[in-house]
Amino acid sequence: MSQTAHSPMLTTPVGERDPVRGPATARVTVVEYGDHQCPYCGAAHPIVQEVRRILGEDLRFAFRHFPLTQIHPYAFQAAEAAEAAGAQGRFWELHDLLFENQNRLDVPDLLGHAAALELDVDRFAADLAEHVHAPRVQEDFTGGVRSGVNGTPTFFVNGVRHNGGYDSESLLQAIRATG
């Protein structure tokens, strides 16, 4: 199924609060609502990397948290960890590492990831313990619900939910169809 005028729309446009890869001037913006513990998001991660490589400067990609805590017990703290790394300017590095190590998302593992990235581990640990970034993660989740997200990964292409597959061919076709 492809995008239609009946597809849900992204309620919160991409802005300064979002971690973004690619230029603001890109022809297409893709937003992924994802969960770092979700195996489907893990499978989509290298596909997104491939699509980004193919499209280069024509694509701006943003990631928003949609932790499915009922089935993924480490998803919320992994999202908080990504935001804690982001507070130190390293969101994307930890984001990638979390998807590459989905079976290593408990607190000792997250602290190990932070150390491997040479983050300020004490600050990172305090952010996790105090849930400093929990409101930000919840804000993403709430925005996702308002935008019609009900599972992960969910992609929006130029503000319209992509209802097709998340293989590279389907994503590229949806992106190219935007003009």
pLDDT for the residue 78: 98
Domain assignment present for 166: yes
Which residues make beta-bridge pairs with 75? none
pLDDT for the residue 179: 60
Domain assignment present for 117: yes
Give the pair of three-digit tokens for residue 93.
Answer: 């590095």
Domain assignment present for 14: no
Percent of residues, the chain, with pLDDT higher than 90 = 92
Domain assignment present for 140: yes
pLDDT at 106 over 90: yes
Instruction: List pLDDT tens digits, range 64-99.
Output: 999 999 999 999 999 999 999 999 999 999 999 999
DSSP-derived secondary structure for 55-116: HGGGEEEEEEE---TTT-TTHHHHHHHHHHHHTTT-HHHHHHHHHHTTT--SHHHHHHHHHH
Domain assignment present for 49: yes
Total structural domains in the chain?
1
pLDDT for the residue 52: 96
**Within a 10 A sphere around the Cβ of 17, how many other Cβ atoms?**
12
CATH code of the domain containing 91: 3.40.30.10
pLDDT for the residue 3: 44
- Domain span at residue 141 reads 20-176
Instruction: List pLDDT tens digits, range 33-68.
Output: 999 999 999 999 999 999 999 999 999 999 999 999
Domain assignment present for 77: yes
